[in-house]
Chain A
Amino acid sequence: MKWRMTLFGLSLPLAAGALAMMIAGGAVAQDKTVTVVLSEEPDIVDPCESSRSNIGRIVKQNITETLTEIDPKDGSITPRLATAWEQVDELTWRFTLREGVKFHDGSDFNAENAVIAINRTLNPNQDCEVRLKFFGNIKLMPAAVDTYTLEVKTETPQPILPTLMGTMTITGPKTQEAKGTQNPVGTGPYKFVSWTPGQEVVLERFDGYWGDKPEAEGARYIWRNESAVRAAMVATGEADIAPNIALQDATDPKMDFSYFNSETSRLRIDLTRAPLDDIRVRQALNYAIDREAMRGTIFSKDVVPSTNLVVPSISGHNPDLKVWPYDPAKAKELLAAAKADGVPVDNEITILGRLGIYPNATEAMEATHAMLQEAGFNVKLQMVEVNQWVDIFTRPYAEDRGPVLQQAQHDNNSGDAVFTVFFKYGCEGPQSTICDKEIDRLIAEASAATGDKRRELWQALFRRLHEDIVPDVMMFHMVGYTRINPRLDFTPSLSTNSELQISQIKFN
């Protein structure tokens, strides 16, 4: 009997605790502060790293703004801190800056301070990701012409400089020079309040903002690594938005939205190694893949089979290209024809996958492996970690490498195809395995062109790649899932992959 009493005694405090919880009823956010649950803790809150997803979602266009902004719907460029821009000559752009804009610390936004901000991000002695990702090959020389006129000179013609400036966040002039500020100051609608490492980042509405007063009074960012937990937090009202949840957790159509996350998946073909140097073999690879069988099983049902390495809203996407049909008989026929001409089609080809590059990455490669084997290819599958994968994916390439199909995914939400084509397909491109004179000519011509002409040249380039060269086994334009609490009125878009503008959120 005694032990029964003891057990009861033990369970009593637990039950009491649970009861207290019921009364407390969890932390339901009914105020006008938006709580965002990210997939991982930001390492740093420096705006010069805002091209990284989870940092951009906190900082970009919330704390710090850019001179121009890229419209996720059609890739067009709209004014933000600059109201107008014009190309003075081939090497010079002039931006007219918005007047009456203040930084959160009270400093004035003007051309002189814009120069300080640009030079900070582009400082060659530190590794700001915005510089490394978008300005690695470009030297900018910004100068103040007068209070509200900024002139930017470049060493080589930069016809899309206004697009590029959509990635350059403008920090306050008193920001420490070295990367790693823990007190980001900008001109945005929200100012930085605090960052408690391991716990949260807090922003509050900036009363001196130049634009319309946003509805949300503040934002709080927390993070959980586990997708199921993020989804549960929105379901219980502990958070309002989980920008990125896994397919298997997106179970409630009232809360879960799919959106093109600007990623396009593919297998990069190494064209320099036999038998992959023969176009019939590359065509056969594409015919051998049953993309429909993978859609809704390994990949989400919302993904779209791709023909271009950029998503449809990026300027230069060619909508007229045809998705490779699944035709194993045709694949076998092409392989046989190549073999008859002496192409060593029996050489072993390695499918080099990268662990976790996207959900079900390994399963996708296992299915691809089986399909290629079925079509008569001699393939083996190898899954590697990111470090090893990058070594093989970027120049300099190892001389003794064999034929490789490398699992890859490319993200371009920057508005223009130039961010894609030079790196992936130019003769000198750091991740290119092809060298085609026509492609290089198109890259040069399109880079120097603007407007419709530019778009048509990119489209011609994607047509040549898709039909005449076949440098990839194209897979899908990928989707992401965002869970949004019904109390908010907000729709995720292409840009949700890299930013989350709290000022665009309304309350229902």
Chain B
Amino acid sequence: MGTYLARRAVHSFVSLAGLLILVFFLARLTGDPTNLYLPLDATLEARQEFAERHGFNDPVIVQFGRFLSGLAEFDLGTSIRKHRPAADVVLEAIPVTLGLAAVTMIVALLGAIVVGSLAAYRPGRIFDRLASVISLASASAPDFWVAITAILLFAVTLGWLPTSGTGGFAIEYWIMPIGVLLIRPFGLMVQVVRGSMLTALSSAYVKTARAKGVTERAVIFVHALRNGMLPVITVASDQAAGIANGAVIVETIFGWPGVGKLMIDSILYRDFAVIQASILITAAVIFTINIVVDIAYAVLDPRIRHH
């Protein structure tokens, strides 16, 4: 396991370095951000001074050298927009997004396993059909519309929930954002669980288990599910990485200061230091998710462990 992790770490480091170089140069291709920061009436001299002060007049390769030497000292630069260290800005936003991603994935995964398994248990029956319709509808629901409609319904009309905000992360503030975020992964995963459970339930080892007189509950949740989980884990990790990259719509509408919104704003304002810092840090998070998924495979499937 140790060698395996070391090898993964080296691979990830190489791809991360490549990604950073790409982002650095691509971001600068979008041009000098001076015009975005100074008022329209600023004089030409003021514009030149601004570009000079922030190093935008230097050749890109010189700017890259400056970035690397900062990186060597763990300095990710200063946000031009916020006048604060870029790393601070990103590290404030990361826990918010990770919190959203973790809760969403746990709820969606548990829900999908239960609903998907039960649907696969008696395929073609009413519950299966109902589950299919609901999961297909939710896998294709536009989250922007769902979010606004949910606010109008649950906050304005019914007055059950607060409209938005994190409210010190009290539980009532989580319900709508999580609800909106989990719709799509839930729908998708119900479909995947159902498919892979159908295959598992018709396999020889399930028939053997039933012949031995194992209870139905154990057949589904022990024998079939364990095998059926592998594709589900793959899809779930992909979905989790997506949310960890920023649940932009939910963060924007519900006013959760996460990293997705931060990244979009930084790109719009060409706040290069923050773009680079957020990509670096979220890439590290996604690397960790991938490692966890690999470990989960090994735990679930002894064949992988033995190799």
Contact = CB atoms under 8 A, between A and B. Distances in A.
Interface of A: 3, 6, 10, 14, 17-18, 20-22, 24-27, 41, 43-44, 46, 51, 124-125, 127, 129, 132-133, 136-137, 179-180, 197-199, 222-226, 228-229, 232-233, 235-236, 238, 386-387, 390-391, 393-396, 419, 423, 430-431
A395 B44 contact: yes
Interface in B118-156: 118, 121, 127, 148, 151-152, 154-156
Interface stretch (B5-13, B66-74, B167-175, B226-234): B167-175
Contact of B255 (A26, A124, A224, A387): A224
Contacts of A132: 38-39, 41-43, 46
Contacts of A51: 39
Contacts of B31: 387
B99 interface: no
B61 interface: no
Nearest to A235: B156
Contact of A21 (B89, B172, B270): B172
Contacts of B166: 199
Nearest to B79: A43
Question: Chain B contact residues (Cβ within 8 angstroms of A): what range?
Answer: 35 or more
A43 B160 contact: no
A238 B39 contact: no
B40 A393 contact: yes
6 contacts: A132-B38, A132-B43, A224-B255, A229-B148, A232-B164, A236-B159
Nearest to A14: B175
Contacts of A419: 41
A198 B83 CA distance: 15
Interface string B223-263: 00000000000000000000000000000111101000100
B109 interface: no
A180 B84 contact: yes
Q: Which 8 A-B pairs have the closest CB atoms?
A: A198-B257, A180-B83, A390-B35, A133-B39, A132-B42, A3-B118, A136-B43, A21-B160
B92 interface: yes
B interface SS class:
helix
Nearest to A131: B46
Contact of A232 (B35, B151, B171, B257): B151
B257 A238 contact: no
A21 B176 CA distance: 12
Contacts of A24: 172
B39 A129 contact: yes
A25 B35 contact: no
Contacts of A395: 44
A393 B148 CA distance: 37
A30 to B, nearest CB: 15
A131 to B, nearest CB: 8
A151 B152 CA distance: 56
Contact of B167 (A27, A125, A390): A27
Given A390-B36, A390-B40, A394-B35, 20 more contacts: A10-B114, A18-B161, A18-B175, A21-B161, A24-B172, A41-B257, A43-B81, A44-B81, A124-B49, A129-B38, A136-B41, A198-B96, A223-B255, A225-B252, A229-B164, A232-B156, A232-B164, A236-B159, A386-B36, A431-B40
A423 B148 contact: no
B77 interface: no
A160 to B, nearest CB: 15
B195 interface: no
Most B CB within 10 A of own CB, among A124, A226, A419: A226
A86 B207 CA distance: 99
Nearest to A126: B53
Nearest to B39: A133
Contacts of A228: 148, 151-152
Interface string B20-59: 0000000000110101111111111010011001000000
